[in-house]
Chain A
Amino acid sequence: KQEVTQIPAALSVPEGENLVLNCSFTDSAIYNLQWFRQDPGKGLTSLLLIQSSQREQTSGRLNASLDKSSGRSTLYIAASQPGDSATYLCAAYNNNDMRFGAGTRLTVKP
């Protein structure tokens, strides 16, 4: 079954820094890869969805890339802000199965 890994597990950066979160998956036969944000005690908020045929998606300060052949996706956050502090999760969708990584807990310090 699909295994999804996210590194680093935690990241602390000063405000304004650009940063990259990594997601890797073992089965490249994915339909899509989705990035989510989760605030403490809250549900998951969808950030970006990349279809298997796409290389990247952008939304505001967020840019997600996908390299199916290497089994990797990255989430780039530009000019980070304290409000970006949250846990970021990636999910790889295969046939009838959406598997999550353990997440990266991001802290952006003012």
Chain B
Amino acid sequence: DAGVIQSPRHEVTEMGQEVTLRCKPISGHNSLFWYRQTMMRGLELLIYFNNNVPIDDSGMPEDRFSAKMPNASFSTLKIQPSEPRDSAVYFCASSLGTGHYEAFFGQGTRLTVV
């Protein structure tokens, strides 16, 4: 398997624009996580899906952030409107299921909002 695939790898956008980050989990994995990484705050869990259903979105910082998982092989994280403070590296991770399984991370999307 190619692993967790994220796109784009880099995104530069202007403040106020909509940004969509994409993730393809490892085939057969039922759990998917979105994280944000910054120097100041480290890795923060934004939202967690199990079997395509959002289980916990308490980490989503504001209503400007939304995430979907329309099927088992695709998830999106959308920021609308984007702000400079959203600049970070966004990671997607997947695992076979909850609790006892190893999580695998994608290479991340580096987002810069100017």
Number of interface residues of A (CB under 8 A): 23
Residues of A within 8 A of B50 (CB): 96
- Does the CB pair B43–A89 fall under 8 Å? yes
Mark interface residues in B80-114 (1 if CB within 8 Å of A CB, else 0): 00000000000101000011111111111000000
Number of interface residues of B (CB under 8 A): 22
Mark interface residues in B24-46 (1 if CB within 8 Å of A CB, else 0): 00000000010100000011010
Q: Which of B1-57 contact A (CB under 8 A)?
A: 33, 35, 42-43, 45, 48, 50, 55-56
Known contacts A43-B106, A44-B105, A91-B103; decide if A99 and B45 are in contact (CB<8 Å). yes
Mark B residues whose CB is within 8 Å of A: 33, 35, 42-43, 45, 48, 50, 55-56, 91, 93, 98-108
Mark A residues whose CB is within 8 Å of B: 31-32, 34, 36, 42-46, 49, 51, 89, 91, 93, 95-103
